[in-house]
């Protein structure tokens, strides 16, 4: 890579970031006080349960923006989607059920633009849908995940172990898959489910898996989370992923997390592993920032390290309670064929729209 590509790349990124931060789409709106979503700056897929992080304007919060045709269109879509989900639940389930839980859904649609050090811009999109089908069974969920994100220049921890395309640290994914999950245990400290699904490719790739997660609180400010996922795929065979997370609440708005994973499978040489240290800080009720440093590798190579990366992710809820954007600069050092490490620069902008509904 040319010596000047790094400075030139970051000068462009800084100019774009400054414009978005100083003149955001909702800059003229008031922002309530300074106090993921559920995940202010998500580092994992919504499918992976995590301890509550600093709140950053989860859907349902009120906003100061006046009602408009945009709100009406969004509300209409939410109602139409809910009607279709209820129809699906009724078709396969029992319409006379007196379940305490109601049919509900949540959909997150994310669009992204990624620019690399050479100025190349790649668009991408991700869709995540979670449908609770209570008339079929209180514990049954239908999960649909589609990913067409730009190719990753660096590794990351598995987003959803055992899910085709998401149980690996290193591979890029472009796929759509559906999964039926049955919850066996769901408590504040234990979470266990079994699932079966299919990846919609030719030929189709079917999979089954079981996932167990236990959370142990050492004190009011620290905890240990242990997760074990066993899976099998019709083309790749069986595999297993272990996750160990340590979290500490540094203050009311700051979390320090150390996350570790290891995956072994029939089609993987050695142990594929990764470790990340994250600092998550809530900046306001509508914004948060996450700083991440990670190392990833495989025990089958000489020094076991394949990639290093450092990134910052700024997430903000703006204009509407259901609209978010993220700014993510990243530097990574992937291992080359000769054993050396090259430096890569990327900057990603994401826009997320949330739809959700619950039967009354």
Tens of pLDDT, residues 251-281 = 999 999 999 999 998 888 888 999 999 999 9
What CATH topology corresponds to 79-358?
A: Porin (2.40.160)
pLDDT at site 230 = 93
Average pLDDT over residues 109-138: 87
- Domain chopping of the chain, boundaries: 79-358
Share of the chain above pLDDT 70, in %: 74
pLDDT number for residue 138: 77
pLDDT at 48 over 60: no
The answer, as to whether pTM is greater than 0.85, is no
* Strand runs labelled E in 98-189: 104-116, 121-132, 140-147, 175-186
Longest dimension (CA), the chain: 69
How far apart are the C-alpha atoms of 104 and 322, rounded to whole Å? Answer: 16
HSE-CB for 255 with a 13 A CA cutoff:
25
| Better-predicted residue by pLDDT, 23 or 130 | 130
- Alpha carbons 193 and 134: distance in angstroms, whole number: 16
**Bigger pLDDT: 232 vs 15:** 232
Residue 69 burial (CB < 10 Å; 0-12/13-18/19+)? Answer: exposed
Single out the residue of 191, 177, 108 nearest to residue 142, CA to CA. Answer: 177
Q: Which segment, 147-151, 339-343, 346-350, is predicted with the most confidence on average?
A: 346-350
Pairing type for strands 272-284 and 287-298 reads antiparallel
Q: Taking residues 85-90, what's their average pLDDT?
A: 83
pLDDT at 41 over 50: no
């Amino acid at each position: 890579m040319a010596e000047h590509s790094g400075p030139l790349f970051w000068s462009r990124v800084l100019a774009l970031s400054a414009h978005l931060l100083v003149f955001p789409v909702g800059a003229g709106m008031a922002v309530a006080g300074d106090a993921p979503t559920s995940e202010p700056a998500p580092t994992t897929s919504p499918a992976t349960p995590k301890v509550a992080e600093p709140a950053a304007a989860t859907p349902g919060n009120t906003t100061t923006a006046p009602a408009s045709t945009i709100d009406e269109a969004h509300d209409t879509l939410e109602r139409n989607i809910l009607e279709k989900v209820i129809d699906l639940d009724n078709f396969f389930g029992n319409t006379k059920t007196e379940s305490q839980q109601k049919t509900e859904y949540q959909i997150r649609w994310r669009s992204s633009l990624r620019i690399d050090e050479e100025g190349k811009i790649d668009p991408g999109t991700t869709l995540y849908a979670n449908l609770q089908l209570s008339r079929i069974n209180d514990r049954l969920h239908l999960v649909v995940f589609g990913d067409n994100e730009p190719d990753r220049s660096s590794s990351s921890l598995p987003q959803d172990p055992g899910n085709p395309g998401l149980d690996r640290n290193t591979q890029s994914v472009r796929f759509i898959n559906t999964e039926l999950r049955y919850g066996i245990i769901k408590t504040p400290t234990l979470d266990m489910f079994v699932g079966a699904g299919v990846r919609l490719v030719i030929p189709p790739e079917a999979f089954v898996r079981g996932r167990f997660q236990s959370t142990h609180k050492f004190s009011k400010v620290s905890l240990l989370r242990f997760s074990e996922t066993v899976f099998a795929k019709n083309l790749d065979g069986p595999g297993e992923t272990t996750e160990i997370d340590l979290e500490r609440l540094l203050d009311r708005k700051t979390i320090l997390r150390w996350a570790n994973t290891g995956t072994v499978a029939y089609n993987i040489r050695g142990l594929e592993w990764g470790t990340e240290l994250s600092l998550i800080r809530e900046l306001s009720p509508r914004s948060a920032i996450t700083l991440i440093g990670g190392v990833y590798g495989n025990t089958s190579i000489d020094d076991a390290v394949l990639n290093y990366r450092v990134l910052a992710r700024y997430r903000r809820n703006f204009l509407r309670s259901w609209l978010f954007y993220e700014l993510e600069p990243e530097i990574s050092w992937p291992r080359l064929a000769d054993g050396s490490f090259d430096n890569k620069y990327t900057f990603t902008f994401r826009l997320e729209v949330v739809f959700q509904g619950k039967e009354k």
